């Protein structure tokens, strides 16, 4: 039974490209810039495991990983094959089963890979420093943005309703930008309560253009 990370490292090294396991990587389909594959692990001309996965925008998305026999280390061997072919950091981790989560945690330790830090390093969204820059020109708008980032839509609009109704933003909305467009900018600020966009998506050009009006 494997109980330590050192034992797991030795375990993976022992199964990497085992001479008894051959791989067959089949390209199944292409649609909307997505390529679908099936990786078969084969021993003695019999399929003993497989991974169904897709490549989209350079990332690997696994939809199914299945070992058909026990005691041959098929699952980790297939994962090692994918990691060596595409890069471990490229393998996304959607739709993980509990067993899959445990395997990925051990693989993270093996590769000394911090998934959350990696995602942050690839985050293309706006830094919180942008709020400081906006504050130099429009301090009240910066406060509104800060609340939107922290509290989200509903609580922020409720908090600011009286000031909005009193005309605090009247000239700003007339001459610069509507507050609804300001709130749209917050959807592209890192860790914003309003941001549910993929971190590797580029900030849209209309958002950039609106942001320039505040700087």
User: Does position 16 have pLDDT exceeding 50, yes or no?
Assistant: no
Q: What percent of the chain has pLDDT over 70?
A: 91
User: Does position 9 have pLDDT exceeding 80, yes or no?
Assistant: no
Residues 37 and 135 in one domain: no
Residues 62 and 100 in one domain: yes
Q: Which residue has the higher pLDDT, 20 or 209?
A: 209
Residues 106 and 144 in one domain: no
pTM of the model: 0.58
Asked if 128 and 189 count as a contact pair (C-beta separation under 8 A), the reply is yes
Q: Which residue has the higher pLDDT, 143 or 122?
A: 143
Q: Given CA atoms 74, 77, 81, 86 in this order, what sign does their dihedral have? A: positive
Residues 134 and 208 in one domain: yes
Asked if 189 and 149 count as a contact pair (C-beta separation under 8 A), the reply is yes
Residues 139 and 112 in one domain: no
89-118: pLDDT as tens digits = 999 887 778 888 888 888 888 888 888 888
Residues 111 and 156 in one domain: no
The last residue of a domain, from among 121, 143, 170: 121
User: Does position 186 have pLDDT exceeding 70, yes or no?
Assistant: yes
161-174: pLDDT as tens digits = 999 999 999 999 99
Distance CA 188, CA 146 (A): 13
3-state secondary structure (DSSP) of residue 161 = helix
User: Does position 134 have pLDDT exceeding 50, yes or no?
Assistant: yes
Q: What percent of the chain has pLDDT over 90?
A: 60
pLDDT at 81: 92
The last residue of a domain, from among 121, 140, 173: 121
Residues 146 and 117 in one domain: no
Asked if 60 and 92 count as a contact pair (C-beta separation under 8 A), the reply is yes
Residues 78 and 165 in one domain: no
pLDDT at 10: 57
Compute the mean pLDDT over every residue in the chain, rounded to the nearest whole number: 88
pLDDT at 18: 54
Q: Which residues contact 145 (CB under 8 A, 6 or more apart)?
A: 131, 134, 182, 185, 186, 189
Query: Domain range holding 139?
Result: 129-212
The last residue of a domain, from among 121, 147, 178: 121
Q: Which residue has the higher pLDDT, 3 or 63?
A: 63
46-76: pLDDT as tens digits = 899 999 999 998 999 999 888 888 777 788 8
Please give the tally of structural domains in the chain: 2
User: Does position 39 have pLDDT exceeding 90, yes or no?
Assistant: yes
Q: Which residue has the higher pLDDT, 156 or 32?
A: 156
């Amino acid at each position: 039974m494997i109980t330590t990370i050192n034992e797991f490292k030795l375990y993976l090294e022992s199964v990497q490209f085992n001479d008894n396991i051959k791989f067959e990587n089949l390209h199944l389909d292409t649609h909307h810039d997505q390529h679908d594959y099936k990786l078969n692990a084969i021993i003695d001309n019999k399929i003993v495991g497989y991974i169904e996965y897709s490549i989209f925008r350079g990332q690997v998305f696994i939809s199914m990983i299945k070992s058909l026999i026990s005691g041959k280390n098929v699952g980790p061997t297939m994962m090692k094959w994918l990691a060596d072919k595409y890069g471990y950091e490229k393998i996304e981790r959607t739709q993980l089963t509990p067993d899959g989560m445990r395997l990925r945690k051990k693989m993270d330790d093996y590769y000394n890979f911090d998934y959350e830090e990696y995602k942050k390093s690839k985050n293309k969204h706006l830094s919180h420093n942008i709020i400081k820059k906006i504050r130099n020109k429009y301090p009240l708008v910066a406060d509104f943005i800060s609340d939107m980032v922290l509290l989200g839509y509903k609580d922020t609009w409720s908090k600011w309703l009286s000031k909005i109704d009193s005309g605090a933003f009247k000239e700003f909305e007339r001459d610069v930008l509507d507050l609804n467009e300001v709130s749209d900018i917050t959807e592209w600020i890192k860790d914003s309560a309003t941001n549910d966009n993929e971190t590797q998506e580029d900030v849209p050009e209309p958002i950039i253009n609106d942001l320039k009006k505040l700087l």
